[in-house]
């Protein structure tokens, strides 16, 4: 009787643990600016388990490969709510990269948020007053890196640009601050 109870408890716990549907969310600041909320949610549904593994230490290469495989299978089966492979793949790759970067450099993201909040106060206020998120993000990029995003610079061949390197943590944090202001 005791063995039967132990066996049934083990089976129940293993089934419960293997069928949990709570998966990690895609950070909205990691999604491309043109990604729809439906595409982000579809990607979360497809690769949520992989994002959990990324939080538990899975590296970019294996996570990226698994995510692309799952997305290809979902597209082939028609389980993507009309979203295409390119859109879902871009969302998944960006989210995996951003999650790993946040986990590896949390102090950089905290410092960036402290630095950017006062710098982006106009864009935050504009979003709260109804400004389009994508427009506010582009304005924020210009405020943060004016030498990189100037219109004159865009007409010069990239190999002649003289710019400081852009840290993706700064841009992701700016998108997060503006997304949270919605």
Structure tokens at 76: 């082939």
Domain ranges of the chain: 21-104, 105-182
Contacts of 76 (CB under 8 A, 6+ apart): none
Average pLDDT of the chain, as a whole number: 84
pLDDT the model gives residue 70: 96
The whole-model pTM stands at 0.76
Structure tokens at 163: 């710019």
Contact 126, 177 (CB under 8 A): no
CA 182 to CA 174: how far, in whole Å?
A: 13
For 106-147, what is each residue's pLDDT tens digit?
999 999 999 999 999 999 999 999 999 989 998 999 899 887
Decide which of 165 and 91 is more confident.
91
pLDDT the model gives residue 33: 85
Closest CA to 103 of 138, 57, 143: 57
Please give the share of the chain, as a percent, with pLDDT higher than 90.
Answer: 64
pLDDT of residue 16 exceeding 80, the answer is no
Helix, strand, coil percentages in the chain from 3-state DSSP, rounded to 5:
70, 0, 30
Crossing angle (nearest 10°) for helices 168-180 and 85-104: 100
Residue 12 pLDDT class (50, 70, 90 cuts): very low
Closest CA to 95 of 71, 113, 73: 71
For 35-80, what is each residue's pLDDT tens digit?
999 999 999 999 999 999 999 999 999 999 999 999 999 999 999 9
């Amino acid at each position: 009787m005791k063995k039967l109870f132990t066996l049934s408890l083990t089976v129940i716990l293993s089934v419960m643990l293997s069928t949990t549907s709570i998966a990690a969310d895609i950070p909205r600041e990691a999604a491309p600016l043109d990604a729809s909320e439906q595409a982000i949610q579809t990607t979360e549904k497809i690769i949520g388990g992989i994002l959990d593994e990324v939080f538990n230490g899975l590296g970019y290469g294996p996570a990226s490969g698994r995510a692309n495989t799952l997305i290809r299978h979902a597209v082939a089966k028609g389980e993507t709510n009309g979203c295409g492979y390119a859109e879902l793949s871009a969302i998944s790759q960006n989210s995996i990269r951003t999650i790993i970067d946040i986990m590896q450099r949390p102090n950089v993201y905290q410092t960036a948020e402290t630095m950017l909040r006062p710098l982006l106060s106009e864009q935050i206020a504009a979003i709260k007053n109804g400004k389009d998120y994508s427009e506010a993000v582009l304005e924020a990029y210009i405020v943060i890196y004016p030498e990189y995003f100037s219109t004159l610079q865009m007409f010069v061949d990239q190999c002649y640009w003289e710019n400081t390197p852009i840290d993706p943590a700064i841009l992701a944090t700016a998108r997060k601050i503006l997304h949270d202001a919605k």
